[in-house]
Amino acid sequence: MRIVFAGTPDFAVPCLRAAAQRGEVVGVYTQPDRPAGRGRGLTPSPVKREALLRGLPVLQPENFKSAEAKRELRALQPDLMVVVAYGLILPQSVLDIPTYGCWNVHASLLPRWRGAAPIQRAIEAGDTQSGVCLMQMEKGLDTGPVLLSQSLPIGDADTGGQLHDRLAELGAQVLADGLGLLRAGIRPVAQPQPDEGVTYAHKLEKSQARLDWSRPATELANRVRAFNPWPMAEAMIEGERVRVHGAVAQPLQHAAAPGTLLAAGREGLDIACSEGALRIRVLQREGGKAITAADYLNGRRDLLARA
């Protein structure tokens, strides 16, 4: 079987490894190198680095609008194209090129959380379950029929980063199962997605990182988990902006204005919310590293007196 793989970030790397196990990957598509780091030098994607380590040919078109880009894909004579967090919406003219079309590995239980940030949005919404779907791609955004799926629980303390890593490995497992069936001459049965339960996981924006104390504490605690490690929740604590790495909701009854520091101690900093309080346990000062609330208070003794 001749497989073309398309992906860009870390999430796609385990799937590339799964697809390449038998030497069937004949080409790897990934986003063009982008400026990154302090020097803003051009940096290859994680998928490109993995492909080069494996000696696989890499293609990096800006998009598939040109006839040349489509000719390059046809020249690879793909039986199947596997797409994992590639970053481009593929036109129907591309989806029709491989013999078996294009498969997509998506990090949610479709139709819930179609779109760009399903992992983080699931945690932010307080979901207790997530999973991975292997989907037959069509022109719509994550609307294609599901070939295979597996679920896993979301733990109360799971961060976006932790769930990302677990789903990346689960995605590779589901993809390997699908490829095994196809090699055996069995095409997975495509199950259309139901019309009910559709939600969209909109792209994460840095502007969404600021915690709004007028929201319930449970909502903010979920956002802190979801946005770790990026874009990382931010908060103002008694005049200082900090990044919040770890926090839990406290069912405290209070009459304080949202944003008021209710208590400060080794267990954390309790900030009044519209409902309950958010206990900040791990935080980061400007230019510093992540520290516990106890270490933070060593540098801000004034808060002990004011809480």
Residue 72 per-residue DSSP state = H
Q: DSSP states of 192-205 as a string?
A: PPPSTT--EEPPP-
DSSP letter, residue 87: S
194 among annotated binding-site residues = no
Cα 141 to Cα 104: distance, rounded to the nearest angstrom: 11
Distance of CA 56 to the CA centre of its chain: 25
Environment class of 305 (CB within 10 Å of its CB; exposed 0-12, middle 13-18, buried 19+): exposed
Residue 181 known to bind ligand: no
Omega of the bond leading into 61 within 30 degrees of 0 (cis):
no
Distance CA 34, CA 41 (A): 8
CA gap 149, 132 in Å, rounded: 6
Tell me 183's DSSP state: H
Is 109 labeled as ligand-binding? yes
Alpha helices in 147-262 (DSSP H): 160-183, 217-226
CB contact set of 289 (below 8 Å; sequence gap of 6+): none
Residue-wise burial string across 96-110, b where 16 or more C-beta atoms lie within 10 A, e elsewhere: ebbeebbbbbbbbbb
Residues of the chain by 3-state class (helix, strand, coil), percent to 5: 30, 30, 45
108 marked ligand binding residue: yes
Residues at the binding site are 108-111
Which residues belong to the annotated binding site for (6S)-5,6,7,8-tetrahydrofolate?
Answer: 108-111
